[in-house]
Structure 1
Amino acid sequence: MKSRVIDRWISDYLSQCRVSANSLIITVYGDLIAAHGGGVWLSDFIRLVEPLGLNERVVRTSVYRLVQDDWLVSEQIGRRSYYHLTPSGLRRAEHASRRIYDVHDEQWDGRWQVVILPAALPTRLRDTLRRELSWAGYGAVAAGVLVRPSSDSATLLEILDGTGTRDKVVPLDAHSLDALTSLPLVELAQECWDLEAIGATYDAFLARFRPLLRTLSAARSLDPEQCFLVQTLLMHEFRRVLLHDPQLPAQMTPRKWSGATARELCRALYRLTYRLAQQHLLALCGTPSGPLPPAAARFYRRFGGLGDEPAAIPAP
């Protein structure tokens, strides 16, 4: 049985928040559909997202744009259209998934990934690369110079290979001469990333979703469609906040930083909703080969592992 409180929360969210149809569709594909092979019938997808305020005309317009942006590709099979993520779309979704779902508890060793964009790099290619690097947590320290405090060169090489720029830019692996000096690092972080604005979006996320966790935790039973809608809006919001957060090491973050608390809240809500959200997705969507395939094994490793223990409500 559907909860009126949850219905009202969903309605309030959709009426109060500016939700981009393109971004919401990417969230559904990236969070749910990518784990099941990456594609569904368009007619099924329209039914799936209609309760999110996306009618058929809006969905068709948005998926057309996402095809132009190399997120999706369409296939006409008989009278039906099948849309699935492109290799580029899958790569972007995978990069986002790592940042959203992976546990980041290692200590920073003072290493930096640096990318220098030559002036001769074509404007369109430069814009594409900057956008991809920004999604991966890179910030501009100077014109044509992007940095990320990390030793993860694998992600950088995947982005360069995926955009065809490995031989067109200068990637460097650098090391801070004094990784424990906090003041210059904090000042640098403030120049490269708008940490104050990012912190404010984390605080707004907590204020919006903490009451919902209390409601879901207290419910005797949950409705599959409501779980799908809540999970989609949860990940749409958290993805929007997190992908602007460079996930800096502790030496570079402000003293009052609510990113970790927001992640705990997101994890708790996700673990409450994912099973029934999956059930709803599988009930509504199919592929040319039949039902959606089971979720990939890595899906169940999200947030350090999806289990059944009760969700704890993060303290204010």
Structure 2
Amino acid sequence: MSRIVYLNGEWLAEEEAKVSIFDRGYVFADAIYEVTCVLDGKLLDYDGHAARLKRSTKAIGIAMPTDDDTLLALHREIAARNDMTEGLIYLQVSRGNPGDRDFMFENNMTPTFSMFTQKKNVLGAATGKNGITVVTVEDLRWGRCDIKTVQLLYPSLAKMEAHEKGADDAWMVKDGFITEQTSATAYIVTQESVVVTRPLSREILPGITRATALEIAARNGFKVEERAFTVEEAKTAKEAFFTSASNFVTPVTAIDGHKIGDGKPGEISLKLRNLYIADRRANAI
């Protein structure tokens, strides 16, 4: 049975959902997206994702396609229609279809709004217990990484490069400092057990899981610093990990083939993962 997807006000079998070849999301990557995790049939960190969607669409001048109440209702309905108790809901809003290809566009175009589900074992993923390995690559993305656009070609190529080098993912580097993972927030834990991650700016995405994880860490007595850190500091760290909506808090055990700590998931990373899961489960909607 195929998935039921949402497209511009209609519920359709995935095979029936069609978008114009002139849609600016297809031609110019002129679109915003969000991914919300579903656990136990409920939405995790939904308010943060909805707020960031509005922030991102406003930043590039795309009209929100629906109001707040309807947006929440659509998330719940698409999960129900696809009998999804665990996985992801992908949402995309493009500027729309102008009828032809042109760099210029009319203001207040009717956006193209789509949603689909991806069933995934997010809670029991092996990486959550075993961690992942990463390699470092130069950060060659555009200058507004704080806007969650669908311009993901470079992160995709970086992931492929990491895979070809025998690693699971890549940490991107700018001017000698780690910016973020290809589709996640990067962290280290210093030898003094301080959790460190880069401060918010136009160079990184304001991760929703990042915000929640940092709040939970501080609330539970972890020492937290928001500052830049170098590749060299990361390689000599006590621990490393990353956060994302689909991976929660996941350890990183090696960078460029160099073991972090003893090369096993660290105590702080695993503890924060468990705290995050328990807290978000309790607050899911």
Q: TM-score, normalised by structure 2?
A: 0.29
Greater relative contact order (CA < 8 Å, ≥ 6 in sequence): 1
Greater helix share, 1 or 2? 1
Q: TM-score by structure 1 length? A: 0.27
Q: Bigger radius of gyration, 1 or 2?
A: 1
Q: Which has the higher strand share?
A: 2
